[in-house]
Homo-oligomer: A and B are copies of this chain.
Amino acid sequence: MDGEAKPLRADAQRNRERVLAAAEMVLARDGTAASMRTIAAEAGVGLGTIYRQFATKEALVEAIVFERARQLIELAEELANAPDPGVTFFEFFSQIVEFSTRKRSLTDALPDPDLAIDKDRSGIEQEMRRVLSALLERAQAAHAVRGDFGIDELLALLLATSLAAEKATWSDEFRERTLGFVFDGIRYRTGD
């Protein structure tokens, strides 16, 4: 839909990936305050090499967020036709939160209704809304999730629990227990 115009030379592509991997690791460890120099060192490339691929630090961070969003979308798409829509929905929710525990700043990948929405960002966010809506609707059709629970509320609660998990590093056990209460509030019940 944009960008990736020329298919990058092989070595350039390899460098791009090394930088992304290093940046992901360093940012996860040090937060966005991490310096470009640190990232370059971790990637084993020169500073200039990063700037060849990413115009600014902001662009690099965005690329990572973008990448993560793509992974989420991919995962959601794989699950689009999974056998049990209800179980699938809740497991997917849980998985996203677990992801956040491990990778700091993943939450930036979730649509932020506030931020100035540039083209690229908007595109992927739309896509995320789309795939999440699909999972949600299937779960509702299967009478596993309440019908009055909308996509905006889903995004809000995903963001909420992911942020908290990220900030406080929830244990697996604690995550499941806490999410359990949220899920109980969302779950379809006879009489709704």
A residues with a Cβ closer than 8 A to B are 107, 112-114, 146, 149, 152-153, 156-157, 159-161, 163-165, 167-170, 174, 177-178, 180-186
Residues of the B chain whose Cβ atoms lie less than 8 Å from the Cβ of A164: 156-157, 159-160, 163
Select one of B107, B157, B161, B168 contacting A181, CB under 8 A: B157
Distance of A112 Cα from B169 Cα, bound (Å): 10
Select one of B160, B165, B169, B180 contacting A161, CB under 8 A: B160
Residues of the B chain whose Cβ atoms lie less than 8 Å from the Cβ of A112: 167-168
Q: Are A152 and B181 in contact (CB under 8 A)?
A: no
Task: Closest B residue to A177 by CB, please name it.
Answer: B153
Residues of the B chain whose Cβ atoms lie less than 8 Å from the Cβ of A185: 180-186
Distance of A134 Cα from B106 Cα, bound (Å): 35
Residues of the B chain whose Cβ atoms lie less than 8 Å from the Cβ of A181: 146, 149, 153, 157, 182, 185-186
Task: Closest B residue to A175 by CB, please name it.
Answer: B156
| With contact pairs A183-B185, A185-B183, A186-B185 given, residues A167 and B178 touching in the complex (Cβ less than 8 Å) | no
